Amino acid sequence: MTMNSNEKVLYNTVLLFGAPGSGKGTWGKILGMIPGFYHLSTGEMFRMLDTESELGMKVMENMRKGELVEDNIVFDLWQRHMSNAMLTGRFRPHKDTLVLDGFPRTARQAEMLKSTALVKAIILLDCADRELLIARLRKRAVLELRADDASEQIVRHRFTVYDREIQNNLAQFPQGLIERIDVSAPPIHILALLSSALDSHLK
């Protein structure tokens, strides 16, 4: 936990970046099970919205098309979720490290995040083989009934959106924070690399 001159708490934060199917949600959940870590997936946050509300319909329409949700909407929902997590004791900003999966997704969101978070490490889950990621998403579409994974055309569009935004997004942070991990490797190898990277940046 760090404070600025106005005594405002900045959340110690780890960012998980990666293309669709790279395993952000999986590895985020694993980290979230470790004492002292709190995992937040913006995708799950969006899917919890009332789909009959105006906001819920707008967000779901973006997700179905493979497009990004507007920056201001994402940031507002994220702040509300964090306030609730602190009020209920699920996230303790003085003790816990926040693991963010799916936010920020644009350079503007990255700038907005800096007002509340101190980024300690960035884990870039990388995979050159997009066909491998597409196969994973097909499987997830069946197992989790994820409509946004069911259409290959939409999935490939999501890759295009990710490729368009990721470099500008990463450029908002010190390059020394970025750790690239090849997610085509066996899971136990990924876990070892992830643990080593976090140990290096968080100790």
From 47-51, 104-108, 112-116, 123-127, the region with the lowest mean pLDDT: 47-51
Closest CA to 180 of 161, 160, 166: 166
SS3 57: helix
The string of pLDDT tens digits covering residues 6-37 is 457 899 999 999 999 999 999 999 999 999 99
Percent of the chain with pLDDT over 90: 71
Give 96's contacts (C-beta < 8 A, 6+ positions apart).
12, 36, 37, 38
Task: Looking at mean pLDDT, say which of 2-6, 40-44, 56-60, 168-172 comes out highest.
Answer: 168-172
How sure is the predictor about 94, in pLDDT bands with cuts at 50, 70 and 90?
very high
Residue ranges and CATH numbers for the domains of the chain are: 2-190 (3.40.50.300)
Q: Which residues of 161-198 are buried (b: 16+ CB within 10 A; e: fewer)?
A: bbeebbeebbebbeeebebebebeeeeeebeebbeebb
- Check pLDDT > 60 for residue 137: yes
Task: Please give the pLDDT value at position 86.
Answer: 96
Does pLDDT of 3 surpass 60? no
Separation CA 203–CA 189 (nearest Å): 21
Query: Per-residue pLDDT for 2 more than 50?
Result: no
Round the average pLDDT of the chain to a whole number and report it. 90
Mean pLDDT of 88-109: 95
- pLDDT score at 68: 85
For the entire predicted model, the pTM comes to 0.88
The band of 51, judged by pLDDT with boundaries at 50, 70 and 90, is: confident
